[in-house]
Structure formats: C-alpha cells, structure tokens
Structure 1
Amino acid sequence: MNMITFFIVGLLVHVVFFISIFDIYFTSPLVHGMSPQHVPLPSPAQRLVLFVADGLRADSMFKPDNATIRTPYLRSIIEEGGSWGVSHTRVPTESRPGHVALIAGFYEDVSAVAKGWKENPVEFDSVFNESRYTWCWGSPDILPMFAKGASGDHVYTHTYPAAMEDFASKDASKLDTWVFDQVKDLLRSAKENQTLMSQLHKDQIVFFLHLLGIDTNGHAHRPMSKFFPSPTREYQENIGLVDSGVSEIVSMLEEFFGNDGRTAYVFTADHGMTNWGSHGASHPSETLTPLVAWGAGVQRAQRITAFQNYYDDDYSRDWGLETYRRIDVNQADIAPLMSSLIGVPIPLNSVGVLPLEYLNNSQHFKAESMYANAIQILEQFKASSSFAFFDPFELLRPLTDSKMDKFVSHARSLIRIGHFDEAIHQCEALIDQAMEGLSYYHTYDRFFLGCSVVLGFTGWASYVVLVILKTHASLRKPPASRDVMTGRHLGRVFVCVGLLVFLFLFLQTSSFTYYIYCLLPVPVWYSVLKEFGIIVDLIRSVPSLPLSKCFGYFVLVTFGIELLVVSFFYRAMLTLGLIALAMWPVVSGLYRKTKFRSVSWVLSCLCLAVFPLLPVVGREPNTNYVLCAGAVMLFTSFFYILSHRHSGLLARDRWLFIGQMLQMALCTYVLSSTHSSLQLKQGLPLFNQFISWTTLVSSFFVPLLSSTRLFHRLLSILMSLTCVYLLLSTGYEALFPPVLSWLMFVWIHMEQEAVDTCRISNRNELPRIDFTENIDLSRIRQLSLDDIRRSYFFVYFIIIAFFGTGNIASINSFDPASVYCFLTVFNPFIMGGLLMWKVLIPFIIVMCTFESVQVSTRLSSRSLFLIVLVISDLMALHFFFLVKDYGSWLDIGTSISHYVIVMSMTIFLMLLSVMTHFLTSKKLQFGQKVKVHFK
C-alpha cells in the first residue's frame, strides 16, 4: 500500500471512529408518533407572557447592590404577588439549548452544534406550536427556529437586524428597548385592526419577549467589574431597564385586556454568565438563572420562617429573600408549567415535570395536569421501546405493558373517586420509571457499538505497528506462498464473520451507519492476521534486540501517554512533564556535546512550563503582554537578520523579513488602538479592521515568498502566524508562540546532535538544509528506538500547543474580546472560525518543527508519522474507556469531549501534515511555474 492510499484509508478509518461517538453518545433524544394529552378542565389563564432575559444570572437579579434593589418591580412580585425560585439549566449553557429547554421542555442534543444553534436538527414540538397564536419579538438567532418547527401559520416572529447585535455598541440595551416598543406598537395597532383584536382576545395565546441586551452587555463589558465584586454599570443598568420595561408591558397588557385577571406571566433566563463575560460551561453563575411567575393560576407569595427554608446556602444568603418560599425547578419544567397555565398540551418531547407548587388551583386540576404530564412522558417511553430487537428492560425493570396499563388505570380511578393527592403521587412514580426507561432506550445500542469501535481501534493500531515493522524496521517478509495460503483461509473465515454481523444488524433493523461501525473491524483484523508472518519474524529477532533499552522506551511511552491523559483533566501535569523533558540532555548525555544548546533547552522548557499553571478563564484584557510579545518577536527577527547578513541571506529575504517586522509592529499598534477605542465606546476603527483582515489573508502566502532554507522559511512562517496571533490575543497568551518557538528551534538543533553523526551530516550543515531538496533514498535510514522518543516529543508538544493557554473542551475558555480587531457584530461562525485559527497557530508551529526534524535527521516523513499515529490512537482508545454514561451531565460531556478532541487531533494531524509540508517546501515565484517537491 503506497503512502497516498494508506493516508486515505487511515483518514477514512479515523473519520468512522470519530463519527461513531455521535451515534453512541450524541444521538437525538427525540422520538415521534405520540399523541398530545389534554387536561379536561378549564385553564386558569387565557394568555401567557414569557419574558426571557438572555444571559441574566440569578444572583445578579436577586442580590441587592449596596442595599439598592436592581429590579424593584420584580422584587415586589416576589414579595407580594407571585412565586419565585431558581431555574437550573444544563450544559451547554448557550442560548439555543436554553430556549429549547424552556419552550419545548427537553434538553437539546449536542448534534445541534453542527447547525450553529439556529436550525432544527430534527423537528420538535413546543408550547408555541401547541398554542392558538404566538407573537414573538427578539433576536434573529432564536425566534426563527420555533416558527420553523411550528405546524400551520400561527407563530408570528418579529426580529431586529442581526447588525444590531454589536458588542462594540455604545448601548446594547437598545435591543431590549426595541422589543418593548414593538409590543407597544402591536397593542396600539390592534385597536385599529379588528382581525388582530379578535386574535388577541382568544384563549391559549402566548407573547414571547426575548431580551438580549443583558447578554450582549455582559459579553462586551463583563457582568463583574475588575476591582469590585459588583455588576458593571452597563450590566446593572440593563437589568434595571428590563425590570422597568417588564413593569410597563404588564401595565399596558392589563389595561388592554381590561384587567380581566386572565393573564399569566413568567420571567426567567436561558442561561447565566461568568464574571468574565462568557457562558457555555457549568459554573453556577452560568447554570443558575432566575424564575418569577405571577398572574392567573400562579400561587401568590408565601411567607415562611427561616426553619422552613430549604435553600439556606452561601450562594443565596445575601439575597434577603429567606422569608419568602423559594421553589427551584429544572429548566425543562417551565414548559409544562406554561402549558398548564393556558390549557394547551405539554410539548410531545418534553421531559419536564410540572412544578405543582407554582400552581394556584384546585387539587383536582393539579391531579389532572400531573396525569396528563405522566401520560405524555409514558407515550415517549412506548415510542422509544418499539424498535428494540432484544428488550431486557421489560425483564429487569418494573415497567412492562401490563404494569403500565395498571399504573394508568389506577391513577385514573384515583382521580375519579377524588383521591387527588394519592393520584398525584402515583403519577410522579410513573414519571420516574418512564424517565428511567427513556434513558435506557436512549443508550440501548451503546455497549454493542462501543465493543465494535474498540475492536476496530485495536485492529487498526495493530495493523499500523505491523506496517512500521514491515517497511521501516528491516524485518524480512515471510515467503509469498505462505502469504497466499494464509490469505485464502482467512478470507473464507472473515467473509463468514461479516455475513453473520450483517444478518444480526438486519434483524435489528439498524441504521446504515451501524453497518459501517460493526463491519469495519472485519477487514481491519483480516489485514492484521494476514501479516502473521511479520509477528513471527519479530519474535524470532527478540534475542538480538537491546532488551533493556526496549523496555525503557516501553515504560517511558506508557508513562508518557498516561501523563498526557491526566493532563486533559489537570493542565498542571503538563508543567510536570516539561520539567521532566528539561532533564533530557542530562539523562541522554547530550549536554557533553553541546552545553550551550542544552542550557537553552532547559531554560525554554522551564519558561514554557509556566503557561499551563496560568488561568485559562477569567482573565482581564491586558494589552501590555501583547506589546511585550511583539517586542520580543521584533528583537528576535532583528537579531536573526543581523547574524545572517554574511551567511547566505539573500537581499530578497532580508527585505521580506524587514517588511514582516514592520507588519508586526503595525499589528501590535492595531491591537492596542482597538482595545483603547472600544473602552472609550468609539467602536472598531475601520483602518484597524482593514489591517487585521489584510494581515490574516496575507499570512497564508507571505511565507511562500521566502527562501526554502530551513531557518529562513521557519522564521518567515513564525512571523506571519505571530502577527495574526497578536491580533487575536488579549493577555499573556500572546507570549506563548514566542516561547514555544524558542523551544522548537532548540529542539531541531538537539535532535541533530542526537543522531549518529557518522550517518548524518554534521551540525554545521543544518543552516544550509533546504526543505525542497530531494533526499537521496539511499541516505534515508531505517527507524531506531530513538525515533519513538522523537514521535512522543511531537505528540507532547502538540498537547502543549493545545492546552498551553486555553482549553477548547471548555466553551468559556475563550474571550469574545479576542476577535474585536476583526469584528464586533455578533457572528458565531466568523468568530468561531477566528478563534479556531488562533488555536491552530501553535499547532502549525509544532508541525513545521516536526517537518524540520524529519528533514534534518534524514527520516521518511511516513515512518515518524506512523509512530505518532499509534501513540495518538492509544490515547484515543484510553479516552474511549473513560467515557461516562453516568453521573452529572458535566462529567458525561467532559469525558466525551476528551475522546472527540483526541480523535479530531489524529484526523487533524493527518491533514495538517500535508498542509505544513506544502507551507515549508513551496516557493512562490512570480512569472515562473511553481514546483512543489514531496518526499
């Protein structure tokens, strides 16, 4: 198998393994075919008004600010007219999944990420869809998905232009003012439009006000100030504006409907926000949101004593609400509450449980509502269990068909004879068991698919090892006749195995992707066992191997892989690893050959070891670090030009480097100028934006203008990438690329010293090595045990590049302010792409260094990369075993994200190796044909 074929096959195999995790853990929880459940009693409210203050934290609303109440109107509701509590959200704490939980009653599956939280991966039911009419006002990122998911044409959405969502806006609260004004316009126009007036006075009506100003101000100005633990002025004033706006809208609605007492109000938030202005993870400031309900059908405020307060904790102790009954709910419970208030069926896919404590109605109404809630969830359970080929749940769990019928009939009879409290208790027990069944069927295929993926993983890793031994370790291939006989017998056996697997999947009526996951191990293991002679040859050669050195490397790599795995949970472990790496010249004896390089290696390792100890979240912008990083790069570039002015540095390269130095100085100024302008609320200067985008675009081709000499090209690549990185930096992370590059340059020199100088050119030749030179195949050496260390160093540096200044597994590790040099108007795809490019820049630096090590040590790029592939796959397999399907949602999500990250890294390194080879070996010469040389 040639290199291109192997690359394509390996890429496809890893893509399959990567996608499999979505079928195992990220499948949609939604099922279809259920019937809506109606409550046979009149509803307490004719209409519902839902206020969602996007990004509002519970403590920001409830906690007084120096004895000043930020939300006097809502506070009066809590103390006099309604019920309140904390709504507990789930990760990811983003706007789309938060609104889906509020309005549809279920927790969004992660597949919605691929749609940018805007479109519906699958259609779902919602309170809006079940209503007679719904009017919505707010963000174009949220409202359209509920209109699209609704049947008929009864959900009317009114959105402002996306350009209004500008983080650099002087007054983001205008987003909320716009919504309030639109509601007022609707009420005024209804007085002149009889059709509209008639619609507004019907029952089962919903008004939805999406208020995004708090979220936008939180991102732009941060909820908490830098020096005092209190809300920033912009955030605080926006909360007050929302409170006064809610008060005014309630007053107008009551007047419009003649104070008929038939309007229910719910005020809540989709998610909170951290002190540093981000959200997406599981910090209490993100997952705890306020909930206030009042009006028709809602229980009025209840005074309690301190002994009756179940929520006496440090978090809520300063709120001053300990004598008012607090009723906490899960975010999905709000959808059944709203449905019950206006008498519409609970959304079909809702997993929320009706919080009866919020209802002010008869026990009969509560029992009927809870019964409808139980049947609605039970319908989902029945739909989920209908596909199971083998169903041990009915054997092991107390929810068979007969027991379900008994549950339902018993609850119905209890309601009929007036035993409402007992009926409610019966329905709650039924909901608990149905939810347990839903969870079981949602994970029905998990074990089976997991075994298939593990089998495929181990087979692929074994095959790669055999390829390394066969093509790069001088092991002789067994006789061809034996290969033919072995392949013939194995082929029959594996064809039979494949047919059995296919038959099982067919009887299971499995989806198309299941066939791929389960049948892939068959050809993979066939390829492994077909090379059985290689294994025999390896065993025979064991006596001639340096066993002590082999055992040492085995222990080193095993320990090293475990260290990398632990570092995903504790970044400080990377510091420990770098300290250990700093001792390499001493342990290997290299310090005797080159003391200066060894000292430089130790110092660069220790400097880089500082970064994993620094915080990744909660940073305040500090452009001084960025200025310092720019100065360091300018000094380094100037020193390089000065030291190479008489050693082969062409005039064209010299002027190119000078131009890149001027560009770096300009980028440093643009970063400082942009942040100063935004702090003064003067917006993003157009000149700064132009320079930023120009720098980003030019960074892709400017290095191609430089010489392909090893250090000339590396310096040009580094300067272009660092310019972009500086524009995307807000603090100390700007220093990371210079320090990482220092270590990478030293690594290149150290690796050449570590190679046998009798077989490789001496170190004085290193500056003259050209990336485009055609390496004589006779001079490419076979793999040695030291190449395992080189490959492990590369993987370790890749992880350092990944976790050095941030953690992509945590959404809120990255500050939106990082992209303000490029744009300030909210655009998730462009902002996400820029942040992703910021993450990739350290990767590219390490990849280019690895390419240099391969060239300087006269190794085939394929051989080293195969070892890297094995190490990465072993890490991925380790994380696959660490995936959890129990515990908190955060624990489950974190364990899955680690597997996805390592798998993505493996696929990504395959693609990035091609990109970096192109970036280092291609030279752009105007007026001439471009030639690219590949090893």
Structure 2
Amino acid sequence: MERRRRREVVLVVLGVALHSLYMLSIFDIYFKSPIVSGMEPEPLRIRPPANRLVLFIADGMRADKFFEMGPNGKPRAPFLHSIMHNKGRWGVSHARPPTESRPGHVAIIAGFYEDPSAVTKGWKANPVEFDSVFNRSRHTVAFGSPDIVPIFCSGLPHSYSDSYSTEFEDFATDASFLDEWAFQRLERFLHESKSDPKIQRDIKDDGLIVFLHLLGCDTNGHAHRPYSDIYLNNINLVDRGVESTVKLMEEYFPDGKTAYVFTSDHGMSNKGSHGDGDPQNTETPIVVWGSGVRGPEMASPEDDVDDGVLFVDQHTHHETTPESWGLKYIERTDINQGDIAPLMSTLLGLPCPLNSVGMLPVEFLSIDKKDQAKAMFGNSKQVLDQVLRKSQLKKATTLFFKPFTPLVGYRLMLVHIDQLISSGQFESALQSAQELIKLALRGLHYFQTYDWLFLMSTVIMGYLGWIVYVFLHIIQSYTNFPLYSRQKGRRMLGNSFGKRPVRLAGGLFMGACSLLLLFQRAPPLYHAYLGLAVFLWTEIFANYPLLQNLGNVIQSTKVSWLPQVILTSLISFLVLELLVASFFRREVYTVIFLIAGIVGAVVVSCNMRDLSMVPAFVWASCWFLSAFTLMPTQICDNTALVVGSGMVVVTIAIIGRWLDHMYASDPSWKLKFCGSSSKVDKSWLLFCTQVLLVLAASWMVWVTTSYRAEKKGLPLVHQLINWSLAGLSILLPIKSSRGMLLRLISIFLGFAPLFLLLSIGYEALFYTALGLVLLVWILVESVVCHSVVPSLSPKWERSNSNYLPEPTGTQSSKAALCSIELQHTRVALCFLVLINVAFFGTGNMASVASFEISSVYRFITIFDPFIMGALLLCKIFVPFILVTCAFSAVTRLLELPRLGCYFIVILLSDVMTIHFFFLVKNTGSWMDIGQSISHFGIMSAQVVFVLLLFALSSVFTHDLDLSSSEERSALLLLQTINSLKYH
C-alpha cells in the first residue's frame, strides 16, 4: 500500500512538472526574447530635422473617442484637431496584443514588441535591458506614472525624471489630476532650470527628448468606462494640457526646431478593460507636427480604398474614416506602433534603437528625398543587423545549420541600395530599402522559430507518453480489469531484469541527446523537455510485459464489453470536442445544458415516477444556467441585481436547511450533526452567522457602489469591513456539519460574500445558477446509484480487484472504496464540463480583458496590479471550488477513489491539450496566434490547476460523512426538492 502511494505521489509530481515545463515550451517556440546583443548602432547620416522632441503618451486613450466630435458638434480635443487640419499629420497607430501599458510603451520608445517574460515582473521591471530612443538621446526629461517612467529612465545618467506616488492612482476618484500633475511638473522644471546653469545647458543641447506620461484616461477608463463623462472630459483636459505645453516649449525654445508626437499605448474597451486584440484596444491616435514634419494634405478618393496593407493587429490600411471624426477630407496615415521609434529617431537624426523592428513612416517627414532614402537605408541596415547577429549565434551552435535563404545575398542588396542613392534614384532606393526591411522581419521570425520542429515534436511525444503512462496506471491500480493475476503479475512485472536493459537504453539515448544539445548550447529547458519525454516512454517500454499481457487478455476475453467501450469513447470524444469548440464560442454551453436538462430529467423520471417535482427541478436548473453563456461578456453595472442575488442565495440556503431539518426527525433519513448535544444546535448558530455575513456583504455592495457613484474615495473602514467579511465567511464552512447536504449548503454560503463583493452585475446570479446545477449533478448521480427506493450501495465484485485502497476520512475507513468502471467516465466528463462553464459563464478565459477589473474596487482602489490580479483570480476561483467540492461529494457518494477520478480528468484534459497544441498558430493575425497559444496554455495548466483545486476543496470536504443510515442520506436531496410540491 505504501509503495503504491509513493508511486502516486511521484506520478502527481511528474505530471505537474511535465505540464509546467511544456507550458514554458510555448515561450521557447513562439515567444523567444526579441532582444539580441553584440550589435553596433547604424548612423542615419542625415541632418537632423529637429533639435528636440516632445512625446505625449495618453495612456488608455481610445482612437475613436479621441477623434470623434462631441455632442455639440465640436471636437473633444480642439487644439489637436486644429493641428491635424493646419500643421501636422495624423492617423491611427495600431498596437499589438498584449495591449498593456508596458508593452505599448516599449513598442513606442524602443521599437520592438515586448518580451513576454516581462509579465512575470508585472510589466514593471526589465527582465533584459534594451536599447531605446531615450538611450540614444543627448538628454531626456520625463514626468509621469511611477509604473512607466522608471522603466526607461531609472539608471539613465543623462535623464531628469520624476513620478508621483502610487497612492495617487485611485480608481474611486476622477484621475484627471494625474495628467495635470505631469503638465505642471514640466512647467516647474523649466522654470527652475533658469536658475540652474547645468540643467539649462543640458536641455539647450540638441537631441533632447521631453516625455510626458499621462495616466488619467487609463485610470478613468478602468473606473468609469470610456464612454463616461469623466473619461471624455479627461480627453479635453489632455488637449488643453498639450496646448499649454506646446506654448511653454515654444516660449522656452524660440528657434522653431521642436517636433511633437502625441499618441497612446493602447485603447480601452467599453467595459473598461484592455489586454486583448479587440480593435477598441489596438487602435490608438497618432498626431505628429513641428520641425521636420510634413503638413496636412487633402484626402483623395483613393485614400478610402483598401490597399491591402496589413498592420500588426491585422487591420487593413485606410479603413474608411468615420464622418463623426470630422477628418474625412484630411489625409490619414496609419502606422504600426513600433514605427514610432524610428520616426522619432529620424526627426532627431539619431540611430534607431538596436532592437527596433519598426519601419520608418516617411509619409510623416518633411525632408528631401535623398535624406528620406538615407534614413530608410539606415533603418533597413539596423533591422538586417539583428537577423545577421541571430544567424551568427545560431550557426555557431548548430551542427546542420540552415540559413534564411532570401537573405543569403544581402551584401548585394546593400550595395544595390547604396548605388541607387548615389545615382539619385531616391524613390527606387526607398522601395528597395522597404523590401529589405520586410525580408529582414521574415528572417527574424525564421530564427525566432528555428527550433520549432524539434520543440513541437518533443512536446507531442511527451504528452502522448504521459497519457499512455497514466492510462496504464489507472488500469493497473483503480480497475477490476483482469490485467494479470497476482502470481503471474509478480513473475512478469516484479522481475527487474527485463526492465534494466530498457532503462539502460533510454539512459544512453538521453545521454547522447544531451551531448548534442550541449554542443548546440541549447537552453537547460530543452534538456528538461526531452528528458521527460524519454523518461516516460522508457518506463512504458520497461513495462512491456504488462502491455503484452493486456493484448493477450483482450484476445481471450469475450467481446461483450466492446460496444460499451466504443460508445463511451464516442460520447467522450464528442463531449471533449464540444469543450474545444466552447473556447471559440461560449454558446456551446447553452446547447450542452439544454440537452443535459432534458437527459437529466428523463433519467430521474424513469427511476422516480412517484416524485414528479424532481425532474422539473433538474430541467429548470440546467436551462437556467444555459442562459448565461448567451449573455455578453461585457457585464453592465447593476448593483440592484447583485444585492438581489445575495437575497436569492440566502433564500435557497434557508429552504434547503429547513427541509433538511424537517426530515431530520425521520430516523430513516436522519443525518449526522457532529454529535452536538447542546440545547442550542451549534450548526444552526453557524448557519445563522453565515446568513448574516451574506446579508452584510450585500449591504456593503450597495454602500461601496454609492461612494463610487459620488466619485468619492472608498473609506479605509469600508475596505477593512469587506476584507473581513470575505475572509471570515470562507473559514466558517470548515466548522459546519459533516453531513453532505449541510456541508454543501455551508460552502455555498461561505463563498457567497466574497463573490458578491467582487460582482458588478449578472455574474452574481450566475453563482446561484451554478450552485443549483451542482445540486442537480448530485441528485442525478444518486438516482443512478440508488435507483427508485433507498438501498445500500451497489454490490461491487471485488474478488479480482487489484486495487483495495485504504480510504481517507473519519468514517469511510471502515469500508473499501469501489473500483472505477467504464461508466464512471461520466463523472470526469461532467466535472470537465462544469469546471469549464465556471470560466465561460461570465467571461472568456482565453482573454484577459473579458473579466471586469472594476470587480475589485470594493477591496482596493489604489492601483496595484498584483493585489488586483489576485482578487480577480479569487473571483474566478470561487465557482471552481464549488464545482470541485461537488465532485468530491459525488465521488464519496459513489464510493470512488477521488485520486483515481482525478487521473481520469487529467487523461481527458490532455486529449484536449494535444488538440489545442495542433491548433497553435504561428501565422496569421497576432490576435489569433495569441489566442491559440492561450488556449493551449490553459489546458496544459489544468493538471496543476485541478490539483490545486482538489487540495483547496479537500479542506472543506475531507470529512464528509456517509456512514450507516447516512449512506441513504443522498436520497434526502431528492425528497427535499420533491417536498416543494407539498409545501
């Protein structure tokens, strides 16, 4: 027994390690760091069009809200609109997901799209230092958010920077004062510089960059939505601030050699979130004017024609400009967000950042064709240098190196462009340099995915090996399948002599592969990916006698079970494919639960003809839940619905408790109440306490929302009350009655305050709907298990069982658990459906922006990505815990080993994981690529995720009581529902 348990611990640890590592493999396949060192900057060799540049980044400003006219027919940003009409160029800057603040600023200032490993540091610290326009400048002056300015200016010796305190970023107030702080701080700096000769000398030098990070729109968009008056008024405030700053700069630097760039890092969805590839998040404004910038031109009819140019967000160039923008007749120039860095570098005559992948948008420049050609040529050589450097590094560490064929003759291309410039064919030189940049970008992608085939093959073999290994373990340890007799098994499997040669061969193979990887200087993770796959298949082949005996058993056994195997496999495959489809269309769950309601009602009615109320309850509960996946993921604020949902939670709990208490007087149905002999039932006291906590949480929802509506900061005492309500309510179910129904009601009440306080709309009602369906699941399983009338647990044939585990728990240690049979696959399938609908019921788990960040404002309003992210995860975790607790109750009801069922869940999950692995894309739109990768990552993480859920839920369900008469208590669930017919 101890040996088996140690083996299962090793198996669980191995599964966690394998899935964690193979999730990381996606970063090696698709998300290798774009930063490469060992290059020299490429000088542009042109006369700088401007001596200094002012960069305004309005964080979270959405393009359409910025450009469109207000309700009075006047622009929301009148000054910048006048610039677009009279002085500069404008367009839409297209961002690439993830549309977060740090990646957007890195793309703008450094010219490349962020290394995703930065997410592990909250998008704040630099995992790898990189070059930027600020690095190349003579001096940089930067004021703004403490989350952005230090990324680019901390440790930069030639910078003057300052940030406000993080406590200023309060989501409960109007955050436009953050922008006023940045504008006023620059004004004060310029005023103070007049009395400081060193500062004045520094900022008078050429190559100066002034950077103002304006966070107001982002904070107000999160807190109040981008269609709110606060957000729209913030746009006007930014416009006035830009106007005053331009006037200030022109007075301080009267030489007229200042260029200005106004843009945003990302947009904002209607629900106040960002992060994904929705056009509301990827489309940002770009306005450029000043020294070296071309003036506006009238739009021609051809400008509204799709010219086929695709941007990083896969939107076509020159989509029709809406009439509401008031810019229909002014030429529009769209660019990629990464193109802004080479534009700023060219305006200042500086080399492009070393790792920039942007292409210089010459349409913005007011310089002669020769300088345009030279600047584009320098830009192309800078991008080409990255390809050449990556090629050198890969060639030095690869036995059979395959170069990027289109760039084999890159020297001839460079000579050709240089000759075109020398001969005055500037237009041809421009086009040739642009083509070279496109080829170089393809080359960068080629080397980014150079190890793609090796890694993909290794991961697939690892997953297949894991599936086979887990399947054999389930067959051997948890089923009655006559795989081998005990005596024969000991002779065949206990003999280690046959295993040693296989394991020795596997070790030698892995050693040879490791030497090859070491020669190629492969990362340590490559060894881990391959090592796990080799280890699994070695163990499988080492147990070949087991597989050989399995074949003999199949040949000698009657085929009466074959139709059941085929039917179960088909149903399982269909359900898993529906779950895969649900990642793309949430409406799939509507179909699933519509069908489940009918099937569940039929199953119950066929076995309970005298209890007609129960089938109706089963049908109504499933259909009620099916409606939620038809609702939009954009949840509208509805405080009354949240408070009302709290009342519904309390009502359902009171009804369930009352009916349970009513039947407790009947000895044939009586549950065990922890042996309390006091006059006042302790379980009732606990229940009343939980009800009061739910009511208090509902009241705090109303109170805190009222403060937000009045644009007041949330008082600290209210935050402390909310934290206390959530924390205390979660702990109380541990002390509740050990009876199944009473414990599940207590868990349902215990997590309700936390979920209500994190809810803003209909998702609060989803909590109740999910709880009812989980009750339905237990009802149906009890019907399948116990049939029409109360009876003892089904008689299981244990004579040939290979698995007689020692159960855990207080009462269950008196009896052995049942072996898993083929029909019990339904338990794992139901769990997978429910655990996934817990995600998709109120959002899309493949999109970080589909969950409302405003949900956390009742606990914290000061911006803190880790605490806010943790609270958002808690909200997502609550339905999962309910599902897992119900799963534990079902396995206890059916007397099944929960760990064995866990392995079946993982086995089915990994079938989906491999499916998603083949759906991963490396071409097409970046949004599709990112979504496909997130799907794979979510499923690959499920083994770790579900294990964590089991650990958490076991705290609440490990002592569920089902002894003697309590074996029949599951039928009380049926009777309590049916009693509604008479009461």
Normalised by the length of structure 2, the TM-score is 0.89
2:186 is paired with a residue whose SS is helix
How does 1:491-640 map onto structure 2 within 5 Å? 491-542=503-554, 543-544=557-558, 545-585=560-600, 591-593=606-608, 595-617=612-634, 619-640=635-656
Q: 8 Å contact 1:112–1:120 — kept in the other structure?
A: yes
Give yes or no for the alignment of 1:335 onto 2:341.
yes
Cα distance in 2 for residues equivalent to 1:118 and 1:21: 22
Name the counterpart of 1:290.
Answer: 285
2:287 is paired with a residue whose SS is strand
Structure 2 unaligned spans of 5+:
306-316, 665-671, 795-806, 961-983
The structural deviation recorded for 1:528 is: 1.4
Cα distance in 2 for residues equivalent to 1:479 and 1:656: 53
Q: 8 Å contact 1:597–1:746 — kept in the other structure?
A: no
Name the counterpart of 2:694.
Answer: 664
How does 1:302-321 map onto structure 2 within 5 Å? 302-310=297-305, 313-314=319-320, 316-321=322-327
Change (3 A) 1:237 1:196: same
Name the counterpart of 1:917.
Answer: 954
Give yes or no for the alignment of 1:156 onto 2:160.
yes
Q: 8 Å contact 1:38–1:372 — kept in the other structure?
A: yes
Change (3 A) 1:393 1:269: farther
Change (3 A) 1:843 1:428: same
Paired-residue identity, %:
39
Q: 8 Å contact 1:748–1:852 — kept in the other structure?
A: yes
The structural deviation recorded for 1:873 is: 1.0
Name the counterpart of 1:16.
Answer: 21
Name the counterpart of 1:644.
Answer: 660
2:125 is paired with a residue whose SS is coil
The structural deviation recorded for 1:526 is: 1.4
Cα distance in 1 for residues equivalent to 2:499 and 2:793: 48
1:160-186 deviation per Cα after TM superposition (whole angstroms, max 9, x unaligned): 1111111111x3111111111111101
Q: 8 Å contact 1:82–1:301 — kept in the other structure?
A: yes
Q: 8 Å contact 1:37–1:372 — kept in the other structure?
A: yes
Cα distance in 2 for residues equivalent to 1:393 and 1:88: 36
The structural deviation recorded for 1:304 is: 3.5
How does 1:59-138 map onto structure 2 within 5 Å? 59-66=64-71, 67-138=73-144
Cα distance in 2 for residues equivalent to 1:20 and 1:40: 42
How does 1:366-385 map onto structure 2 within 5 Å? 366-385=372-391
Name the counterpart of 2:784.
Answer: 754
Change (3 A) 1:784 1:34: same
Cα distance in 2 for residues equivalent to 1:759 and 1:588: 15
Cα distance in 2 for residues equivalent to 1:29 and 1:480: 55
Amino acid in the other structure paired with 2:699 = Y
The structural deviation recorded for 1:13 is: 2.1
Name the counterpart of 2:47.
Answer: 42
The structural deviation recorded for 1:421 is: 2.0
Give yes or no for the alignment of 1:398 onto 2:398.
no
Name the counterpart of 2:229.
Answer: 233
Name the counterpart of 2:190.
Answer: 187
Cα distance in 1 for residues equivalent to 2:577 and 2:660: 43
The structural deviation recorded for 1:810 is: 1.3
Cα distance in 1 for residues equivalent to 2:330 and 2:704: 47
Cα distance in 2 for residues equivalent to 1:866 and 1:140: 46
Change (3 A) 1:396 1:33: closer
Range with greater deviation from structure 2 (668-677 or 10-19):
10-19
Name the counterpart of 1:893.
Answer: 930
Q: 8 Å contact 2:55–2:260 — kept in the other structure?
A: yes
Q: 8 Å contact 1:55–1:271 — kept in the other structure?
A: yes
Cα distance in 1 for residues equivalent to 2:734 and 2:321: 56
1:36-68 deviation per Cα after TM superposition (whole angstroms, max 9, x unaligned): 111223201110000111111121122112311
Amino acid in the other structure paired with 1:408 = L
Change (3 A) 1:393 1:291: farther
The structural deviation recorded for 1:771 is: 8.8
Range with greater deviation from structure 2 (803-812 or 259-268):
803-812
The structural deviation recorded for 1:87 is: 0.6
Amino acid in the other structure paired with 1:180 = F
Q: 8 Å contact 1:710–1:771 — kept in the other structure?
A: no
Change (3 A) 1:395 1:831: closer
The structural deviation recorded for 1:631 is: 1.1
1:291 is paired with a residue whose SS is strand
Cα distance in 1 for residues equivalent to 2:593 and 2:303: 54
Cα distance in 1 for residues equivalent to 2:540 and 2:325: 65
1:569-607 deviation per Cα after TM superposition (whole angstroms, max 9, x unaligned): 001011111122223346657632365433322221111
Cα distance in 2 for residues equivalent to 1:863 and 1:509: 41
Q: 8 Å contact 1:611–1:805 — kept in the other structure?
A: yes
2:268 is paired with a residue whose SS is coil
Name the counterpart of 2:217.
Answer: 214
Give yes or no for the alignment of 1:465 onto 2:471.
yes
Q: 1:166 aligns with which of 147, 163, 170?
A: 170
Amino acid in the other structure paired with 1:399 = L
Amino acid in the other structure paired with 2:829 = Y
Give yes or no for the alignment of 1:859 onto 2:896.
yes
The structural deviation recorded for 1:535 is: 2.9
Q: 8 Å contact 1:363–1:420 — kept in the other structure?
A: yes
Change (3 A) 1:636 1:136: same
Name the counterpart of 1:177.
Answer: 180
Name the counterpart of 2:36.
Answer: 31
Change (3 A) 1:585 1:64: closer
The structural deviation recorded for 1:731 is: 0.5
Q: 1:726 aligns with which of 753, 756, 776?
A: 756
The structural deviation recorded for 1:531 is: 2.5
Change (3 A) 1:352 1:189: same
Change (3 A) 1:889 1:427: same
Cα distance in 1 for residues equivalent to 2:106 and 2:642: 40
1:489-508 deviation per Cα after TM superposition (whole angstroms, max 9, x unaligned): 32233223212322321232
Cα distance in 2 for residues equivalent to 1:686 and 1:249: 37
Q: 8 Å contact 1:95–1:270 — kept in the other structure?
A: yes
Name the counterpart of 1:228.
Answer: none
The structural deviation recorded for 1:312 is: 6.5
Range with greater deviation from structure 2 (608-617 or 303-312):
303-312
Change (3 A) 1:500 1:76: same
2:255 is paired with a residue whose SS is coil
The structural deviation recorded for 1:211 is: 0.8
2:256 is paired with a residue whose SS is coil
Q: 8 Å contact 1:461–1:870 — kept in the other structure?
A: yes
Cα distance in 2 for residues equivalent to 1:522 and 1:685: 58
1:85 is paired with a residue whose SS is strand
Give yes or no for the alignment of 1:265 onto 2:269.
no
How does 1:786-825 map onto structure 2 within 5 Å? 786-825=823-862
Structure 1 unaligned spans of 5+:
225-231, 765-769, 924-935
2:812 is paired with a residue whose SS is coil
Cα distance in 2 for residues equivalent to 1:452 and 1:363: 51
User: When the two structures are aligned, how many residues end up with a matched partner?
Assistant: 904
The structural deviation recorded for 1:817 is: 1.9
1:207 is paired with a residue whose SS is strand
Amino acid in the other structure paired with 1:359 = L
Give yes or no for the alignment of 1:409 onto 2:412.
no
Q: 8 Å contact 2:36–2:355 — kept in the other structure?
A: yes
